[in-house]
Structure 1
Amino acid sequence: MALYLVTGGCGFIGSHLCAALAARGDAVRVLDDLSTGSRDNLLPGAELLQGDVADAALVRSAMQGVAGCFHLAAVASVERGVQDWLGTHRANLTGTIAVLDAARAGRVPVVYASSAAVYGEQHILPIAEDAPKRPLSAYGADKLGCEQHALVAGHVHGIATLGLRFFNVFGPRQDPRSPYSGVISIFCDRLARGEPVTVFGDGGQTRDFVHVADVVAALLAGLDAASTAAPVLNVCTGRATSVLDLAHAIAAACGRQADIRHAPARAGEIRHSLGDPTGARALLDLEPKVGLRQGLEEVVGWLARGRPGLAAEAAAREPVT
């Protein structure tokens, strides 16, 4: 049994990763400050170190004895980056450097979350990994900085890393009440309750929605692909869905008609974001397995069950004796 560190392990993606590690027989240590993650999502039996990922001493302690590190802790809100530029920078970039620095002693491989936000607005689609990097937010700039420091980690310190540029991740446990949630969880929540949804602009903007199970598969496979060359890959489907089509698909999954209200377009919003999954397919031997319709039905079902966290879901699966 190997022990793995998951930073942000009480969050949306992190909790799914922890469950997958446990399912294959691994032990899990979680580092999370619970600012956006929830204790309800802590894997039963996992060790929790509650604290700041930018706390170098705490991260060094968390890294002791682990076979690998999955670094997911971050402040992903673009708006939070506007309001608290320095604070989000500390969590997102200083936190990553703290993780890489702690990995030096034991040469611990690190798979870390980057983001499609590093690309900004692109005119050539789909977006391949070598596309120009034009981040339009502090979050995107910090994630690009993480990639640059991963290069330093490999070149100077001999640390094997792999960065994964997540596109629009969705799935159960993405809290629709959180200001950090994506459009799918918010639309699912409102349409399931028969409430209208707000579409900004004409709704023709498109996104590449990737299910959390496919993201977890990339994270797990990524540990073996980590190297001192610091590769970075897109995690996406290569399929675009407009916001309007998404709203109608979610309404269908809820058994309702979509009640759509339009609001003025948001300034600076990227019109089209579509990733090229070729790199991940080649290096990780992965294909997305969960389609949008199936994934939407899972989210609607999770909402219908009362939004259980990982701990509650694990308890519900325990056999009755």
Structure 2
Amino acid sequence: MDKYLVTGGAGFIGSNLVESLVLQKNEVIVVDDLSMGKYSNISEFIDSGVTFYHKSITDFSFMQELLKKEKFNYIVLLGAVASVADSVARPLETHEINLEANLNIFETVRKFEIPVKKILFASSAAVYGNNPELPKKETSVIDPLTPYAVDKFASERYAISYGKLYGLPTVATRFFNVYGPKQNPESPYSGVLSIIHNCLLNDSKFTVFGDGEQTRDFTYVKDVIKALMLLLHDERALHDVYNVATGKWTTLNDDIHAFEKAMDKKIDVEYLPARTGDIKESYADITKLSLLGYHAEFSINEGLREYVESEDD
């Protein structure tokens, strides 16, 4: 049995990871301030090897003591303010959460020589900005356009640099448009697919900014968890960053039709002018991750079908 720390473990991706870790009989400690996550996402696992701390990762002294006391085998850094708009409105506050809190963890592990098998930092495709190169490769030009993207890129570089300088076993990921169960459609941080799902459930109007032909690489959360487990346990994944996606693109219009098919229901769509700064096209090159043996199992149609079925249970 291994011991895992998952920051942001009550959130969307975090709680799906926690569920997978519990099913594999691991011990899991979750730190989450519940500003985005929900306790109900992990409450069923509290009696199955999960310990929950309702704390902010910006409580540096708490985090230091936790790391020194628990001696985690694996540390997964998912805790973040995942809203681009929030980072624009509150750059200093979100910087403390999205960068300084992660740096505190790296520094604590270094300073106190805490033995750990792997530290994984979750970054974002937002670091690529509006760079027109497609598909997005890990070597593509980085053009972070918001404080959120700047902090994500800086944290992933800290992860890699700390790893190389101080011998810490670190790795970073760049997520592309993750969707699936436990994604909160009411949240301002929510992905577009959970909002479409909510509109279909409630017979409400869905607003598309632009013509709906913007492309994205939507990745089902189970594929993301598979990638995380691979990167945590493959010794080749070290001091490097990996795109986590499907490597395929669909348009927003495609995704709307796929959701309608999965739910056997039509959605009322309103098209408005495109918003300034919105990225028109984005999809990933996942060659690097594929070389470790990864492949995405879920197409958009398969992923949406399972997503709908899981939410109906």
Q: Which TM bucket (shorter chain)?
A: over 0.9
- Residues 175 and 243 in structure 2, CA contact (< 8 A), matched pair in contact too: yes
Q: Secondary structure at the match of 1:274?
A: coil
1:67 aligns with 2:76: no
Tell me the residue number matched to 1:233.
Answer: 242
Q: Give the equivalent residue in structure 1 for 2:56.
A: 52
Change (3 A) 1:227 1:288: closer
> What is residue 298 of structure 1 aligned with on the other side?
306
SS in 2 for 1:114: strand
Checking the alignment, whether the CA contact within 8 Å between 1:7 and 1:72 is kept in structure 2 is yes
Partners of 1:227 and 1:288 lie apart in 2 by 19
CA change 1:149–1:260 in 2 (3 A) is same
Cα distance change, pair 215–229 in 1 and its aligned pair in 2 (3 A): closer
Aligned residues: 304
Q: Is the 8 A contact 2:127 2:152 kept in 1?
A: yes
If the length of structure 2 is used for normalisation, what is the TM-score? Answer: 0.93
The AA in structure 1 aligned to 2:66 is: A
Q: For residue 227 of structure 1, report the CA deviation from its aligned partner.
A: 7.2
The aligned amino acid for 2:300 is L
Asked if the contact 2:122–2:173 (Cα under 8 Å) also holds between the matched residues in 1, the reply is yes
Contiguous gaps of at least 5 residues in structure 2: none
Q: Partners of 1:260 and 1:41 in 2: how far apart?
A: 30
1:101 aligns with one of 107, 112, 134: 107
Q: Distance in 1 between matches of 2:31 and 2:157?
A: 23
Query: How big is each residue's C-alpha offset from its partner over 1:15-36, in whole Å with a ceiling of 9 and x where there is no partner?
Result: 1111111111111011111111
| Separation of aligned partners in 2, 1:62 and 1:208 | 36
Quick check: 1:159–1:228 contact (8 Å CA) kept in 2? no
Mean CA deviation greater in 70-79 or 193-202: 193-202
Aligned residue for 2:291, secondary structure, equals helix
TM-score in terms of structure 1 length: 0.91
1:68 deviation in Å? 1.0
Residues of 1 paired with 2:196 and 2:40: CA distance? 23
Query: Sequence identity of aligned pairs in percent?
Result: 38
Cα distance 1:286–1:107, how it changes in 2: closer, same or farther (>3 A)? same
Kindly provide the CA deviation profile for residues 183-213 of structure 1, in whole angstroms up to 9, marking residues without a partner as x.
Answer: 0000011013322211101111110000111
**Distance in 1 (alpha carbons) for counterparts of 2:232 and 2:311:** 32
Equivalent-residue separation in structure 2 for 1:77 and 1:244 (angstroms): 23
Amino acid at match of 1:70: V
For residues 192 and 224 of structure 2, what CA distance do their matches in structure 1 show? 18
Deviation at 1:154, TM superposition (A): 1.4
